[in-house]
Structure 1
Amino acid sequence: MPGCLLSSPGQRPAWFPQPLQAADRIVLLVIDGLGYEQLQRHAHLAPHVTAMVGGAITTIAPSTTASALTSLVTGSTPAEHGIVGYRMDMGDSIMNSLRWWSDTRDLRQIHPPATVQPIPPFAGMSIPVVSRAELEGTAFTEAHLRGSRPCGWRAASSIVAQCAQLIKAGEKFVYAYYDGIDKIAHERGFGPYYDAEITATDWLVGALLEALASGTTLAITADHGQVQVGNNVVHLSDDIKDLLHHQSGEGRFRWLHAKRGHQDDLVKAATDAYGDIAWIASREQIVEEAWLGPARGGQMSEQVKRRLGDVALVPFTDTTFDDPLDSGPFSLVCRHGSLTSDEMFIPFLAQTV
């Protein structure tokens, strides 16, 4: 997508929304967590967004922020860029890819972001990025946005002023990121808080359409959708734990790493135990079937392959797989990561003002 948006008008793919085909000034607003199916169900709360031209596209697997945002800005798949999930096995540690640490240890020196993820964003161009000010200088920002020009905001309303000023100053492409919907869905689930956030996000879109200079095209997309799992948490059985060395990934794309010599046993045990609630796949199946997308040269690198587990548990029901080491300050109500339509379908919409 970024390479296509940065290309000359008239050279963009036919599947791009019509307003983008001839656009020469573009603001791309990435709304974290806004799934297309959730947008359709809440259309009455988002009149500005739903009036835009376009439809649904498919995100990557796993449908998680670190992997999807990196794919969005590099135009590459997780199989290529190597950010294969929320928590990745780096050999010496399980690294949280958004925070770039393991437990309380910062891993930036041990695993340099530009080495872990080597593909330059935005086709190597220096693009203004309007995102939370506190994200500037973080390791994940270095991994997926290095070389860009940070234009940080501290209040969501500043996104409007910042984008409008950049376009007025002559920028042809602005990348903006807003994470309110994702935060509320995780913490509160669907309901009145989520509805209020959809309404607030629609205000943001409407304000952008009002503030941007005439002739500017506003495009909207997302990284993933959400499903509400609530208390539907699956704790691994003792039979599984007996074969297990450790876990990585996340609750809706959980990687199991087998004890030495027990890979096949773990695949069978997981299939027998959880095949009625989740897709169960071995590492070999994931690679051969390109679940994480195709790789250049047709082959996932050994370095990236080593970041995967032996068995993937990918729920198709509204459940999540527990890992006691994968926890935060509160229990997540909505989650993502799996391959269901609620998680995989995201909007790609545009309107020229």
Structure 2
Amino acid sequence: MTIAEVVPSLLAGLDVPGADNTLGLPPARRVVLLLVDGLGHELLRAHAAHAPFLAGLAPRRIDAGFPSSTATSLASIGTGLLSGEHGIVGYTFAVGDEVLNSLTWSRAGDHHHDLRKALVPEVVQPHPTVFERAAAAGVAVSSVAPIAHRGSGLTRAVLRGSWFRGAAGFGDLALGAVAGVEQDRSFCYAYHPDLDAIGHLYGPGSPEWLLQLEFVDSLASRIAGRMPAGSLLVVTADHGMVTAGDRIDFDTEPVLWQGVRVIAGEPRVRYLHTESDEVLDVWREFLGPRADVLTREDAVDAGWFGPVSPLAADRIGDVVVAMKDTAVLLRGQAEPMWSGMTGFHGSRTNDEMAIPLLVHSVASA
């Protein structure tokens, strides 16, 4: 069971043709899906006392898919596909001669270089979204997310088909979600980013993170309390998070540069586009038990990405590096932002991959 099945399962209850309720979710004609960035299943279970509303719902675990990265998971929410099909294969990845930062839709390492014209979002991710399918079936579809996401490359790529409402904080996120299900046969996707941001800065489970979790729990409870009778609130996440332990800096390890033409991804998962077959062995020897280092073909055969289309295959890179335990592969010079962070995600550990699927049914009048 994966994140890609969440929206199709909910749309089945809204009588959208072709939608299959593989997750067995209760049908409802008014649905809010709240995605809390960074709310891992294991984190919620470990800190349940700080989230009594969410922890009081029947616990259910699904997988985020690989890589366990925000843009990838949001694309799976929006398309009903895993990364090997929708092609948003990580935080950064190569598309032709460019390395795209999929969150900012800019050139990796240069947030001011907007790539929405050079790499048209609807071309980079060409599959119809589940929101488009729902809207075509007569469902009132809306999304509520930070104001800055309006018209962004990622929004265009994976959330098109929904009416967008920008939110500046908890209050209008909650009211926007409720407003999105005022009419019969309506679906609202609501996204909250701040738990992930706090986790990156201070670490998951830190005092700052725990207080933010309490705010998130209150947000979900307040949305549920304002939703109309007979509606459904579903809460999920895009990934979990680990606190970094062993820090390796690619930029200070010349042996790792040899034969590497392009390095993409993020600190917990890296894609290497190579000029030499020796790269695989060099990286395996250097990283040892700190990472799984596979060829693209072996990672695909192992099912890491789900079914893989030609669209996604070249973006994955010749070598895939998935960090284990709490190791991170930083780039101190090229990506200084990451070096100051505490919490990370992207790889294949249970702490990163396991996400909650929580369901609250609002009683009928």
Letter of the aligned partner of 2:230 in structure 1?
A: G
Does structure 1 residue 110 correspond to structure 2 residue 122? no
Aligned pair partner of 1:312 in 275, 300, 320: 320
Q: 1:9 touches 1:21 (CA, 8 Å); kept in 2? A: no
User: Residue 220 of structure 1 corresponds to which residue in structure 2?
Assistant: 235
2: distance between equivalents of 1:122 and 1:13? 13
- 3-state DSSP of counterpart to 1:151: strand
Corresponding residue number in structure 1 for 2:352? 343
Structure 1 residue 9 displacement after superposition: 6.4
RMSD of Structure 2 on Structure 1 (CA): 1.8
Moved more, 120-129 or 191-200: 120-129
Q: Distance in 2 between matches of 1:344 and 1:148?
A: 27
Q: Distance in 2 between matches of 1:312 and 1:73?
A: 25
Please tell me the residue identity of whatever aligns with 1:227. Answer: V
Partners of 2:346 and 2:166 in 1: how far apart? 27
1:147: Cα distance to partner? 2.1
Measured after TM superposition, the shift of residue 14 of structure 1 is 6.0
* Cα distance between partner residues in 2 of 1:308 and 1:67: 12
Residues in 2 aligned to 1:321 and 1:313: alpha-carbon distance in whole angstroms: 9
Tell which deviates more after alignment, 114-123 or 63-72: 114-123
Residues 297-335 of structure 1: CA deviation (Å, up to 9, x unaligned): xxx21x422212221221112011022323438722100
- Is contact 2:200–2:342 with CA below 8 Å preserved after alignment? yes
Instruction: Report the counterpart of residue 31 of structure 1 in structure 2.
Output: 36
Any conservation in 1 of the 2:330–2:338 contact (CA below 8 Å)? no
1:204-353 aligned within 5 A? 204-229=219-244, 232-236=246-250, 237-258=253-274, 260=275, 262=276, 264-295=277-308, 300-301=309-310, 303-323=311-331, 324-328=333-337, 331-353=340-362
Q: Answer whether contact 2:131 2:159 (CA < 8 A) is retained.
A: no
Matched position secondary structure for 2:230: coil
Aligned partner of 1:193 in structure 2 is 208
Aligned residue runs from structure 1 range 84-233, under 5 A: 84-102=89-107, 103=110, 104-122=112-130, 124=132, 125-126=134-135, 127-170=141-184, 172-189=186-203, 190-229=205-244, 232-233=246-247
Higher RCO structure (Cα 8 Å, ≥6 apart): 1
Residue 56 of structure 1 aligns with an amino acid whose one-letter code is R
Question: Which amino acid letter does the alignment assign opposite residue 221 of structure 2?
Answer: G
Q: CA deviation at 1:123?
A: 5.2
Q: One-letter code of the match for 2:215? A: A
CA distance 1:310–1:137, shift in 2 (3 Å): same
CA positional deviation for 1:92: 1.6
**How big is the shift at 1:90?**
1.6
**Preserved CA contact (<8 Å) 1:3 1:123:** no
Provide, for residues 120-164 of structure 1, a one-character-per-residue CA deviation record: whole Å limited to 9, x for no partner.
Answer: 222523320011112101111101111210011111121222222
Equivalent of 2:84, from 70, 74, 79? Answer: 79
Structure 2 counterpart SS, 1:346: strand
Query: What is the CA–CA distance in structure 2 between the aligned matches of 1:229 and 1:290, rounded to whole Å?
Result: 26
State the one-letter code of the partner of 2:236.
T
Matched letter for residue 85 of structure 1: G
Structure 2 alignment gaps of length 5 or more: 1-5, 136-140
Q: In structure 1, what residue type is equivalent to 2:75?
A: T
CA contact (8 A) 1:63 1:337 kept: yes
Counting matched residue pairs gives 341
Q: Aligned with 1:351: secondary structure?
A: strand
Give the whole-Å Cα distance in 1 for the aligned partners of 2:54 and 2:60: 11
| Structure 1 residues 131 and 123: alpha-carbon distance in aligned structure 2, compared to 1, 3 A threshold | closer
